[in-house]
């Protein structure tokens, strides 16, 4: 597992790194960032994954997420991968909500996307193995969070891998791709027209079908322009209530979809994960 370090910067009593490697899953070079707090020699630290939203790369949260002070305080490694494969040979779409920057954390089955768009396997299998090999990570203690499309990824990956993730949270997640235009476009293109095959990529459907995690934390801004048409937070509220899935789903008055919102509540999410990732 060869990894190249792009940059290292001292920050908040830890080291912020940006790294890249050639992915066997996507067939491309992938870039990701990792913040490692200072720690005793030989110590292993829990890991918090952050999945970004449409059009984003690893850089959005790394530069604007304001997570480092909280991660240093609680001793959490923070891993932020890219949202999709990139490169001249990777297929793309004219829209911002499909193709590069819009991988939706699925393993595509439709041509021409199936060759490269394997973000589910990249996040669930390949990158964790690299993190375990290259960083002081205790992989028995993992949490996952994300924003928007990345919130969809965090919820669905967490629900499908409940034994792996002790904690699952999200900011402004797409809670049901089965019920919104973003999801309809992406999953039709990547997975095909059989909507039954989409259920494993829909948090509300997964919960209805029996998937569970110990607890969920979701923050959603009331002034988010995507709330009514795309995010549909109320569907997750109803799914959790109907299934008895423990969840804290908070509407934050006046907040929008931006990193001004995310950075406001990031430290609280880090602390919430840290409490659940204690040894």
pLDDT in tens, 31-56: 999 999 999 999 999 999 999 999 99
Q: Residue 1 pLDDT more than 80? A: no
Residue 144: per-residue pLDDT: 98
Residue 249: per-residue pLDDT: 98
Residue 155: per-residue pLDDT: 98
Question: For residue 177, which of 152, 159, 158 has the smallest C-alpha distance?
Answer: 152
Q: What is the mean pLDDT of the chain?
A: 98
Q: Residue 266 pLDDT more than 90? A: yes
Residue 80: per-residue pLDDT: 98
Q: Residue 149 pLDDT more than 80? A: yes
**pTM of this structure:** 0.98
Q: Residue 156 pLDDT more than 90? A: yes
Share of the chain above pLDDT 90, in %: 99
Tokens for 15?
């080291």
Q: Tell me which residues are annotated as active site.
A: 148, 224, 257
CA distances (Å), origin 99, targets 57, 92, 187, 228, 244: 13, 4, 11, 24, 36
Share of the chain above pLDDT 70, in %: 100
Q: Which residues fall within 8 angstroms of residue 132, CB to CB, at 6 or more apart?
A: 139
Which residue ranges make up each domain of the chain?
4-277
Q: Residue 60 pLDDT more than 80? A: yes
Residue 127: per-residue pLDDT: 98
Residue 14: per-residue pLDDT: 98
Q: Residue 279 pLDDT more than 90? A: no
Q: What is the mean pLDDT of residues 73-89?
A: 98
- Answer whether 51's CB lies under 8 Å from 158's CB: no
Residue 88: per-residue pLDDT: 95
Residue 112: per-residue pLDDT: 98
Instruction: Express each pLDDT in 183-229 by its tens digit.
Output: 999 999 999 999 999 999 999 999 999 999 999 999 999 999 999 99
What CATH number should be reported for the domain whose range is 4-277?
Answer: 3.40.50.1820
């Amino acid at each position: 597992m060869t990894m190249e370090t792009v940059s290292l910067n001292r920050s908040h009593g830890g080291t912020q790194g940006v790294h890249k490697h050639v992915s066997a899953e996507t067939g491309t070079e992938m870039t990701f960032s990792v913040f490692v707090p200072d720690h005793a020699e030989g110590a292993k630290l829990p890991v918090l994954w952050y999945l970004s939203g449409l059009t984003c790369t690893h850089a959005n949260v790394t530069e604007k997420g304001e997570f480092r002070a909280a991660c240093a305080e609680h001793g959490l490694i923070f891993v932020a991968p890219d949202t999709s494969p990139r490169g001249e040979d990777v297929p793309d779409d004219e829209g911002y909500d499909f193709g590069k920057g819009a991988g939706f954390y699925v393993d595509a089955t439709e041509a021409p996307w199936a060759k490269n768009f394997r973000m589910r396997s990249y996040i669930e299998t390949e990158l964790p193995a690299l993190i375990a090999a290259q960083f002081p990570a205790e992989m028995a203690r993992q949490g996952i969070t994300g924003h928007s499309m990345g919130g969809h990824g965090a919820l669905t990956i967490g629900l499908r891998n409940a034994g792996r993730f002790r904690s699952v949270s999200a900011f402004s997640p797409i809670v049901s791709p089965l019920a919104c235009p973003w999801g309809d476009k992406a999953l039709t293109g990547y997975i095909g027209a059989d909507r039954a095959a989409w259920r494993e990529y829909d948090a509300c459907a997964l919960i209805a079908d029996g998937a569970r995690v110990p607890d969920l934390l979701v923050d959603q801004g009331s002034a988010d322009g995507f709330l009514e048409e795309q995010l549909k937070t109320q569907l997750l509220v109803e799914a959790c209530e109907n299934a008895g899935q423990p969840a804290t789903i908070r509407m934050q008055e006046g907040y929008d979809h931006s990193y001004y919102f995310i950075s406001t509540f990031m430290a609280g999410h880090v602390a919430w994960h840290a409490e659940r990732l204690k040894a």
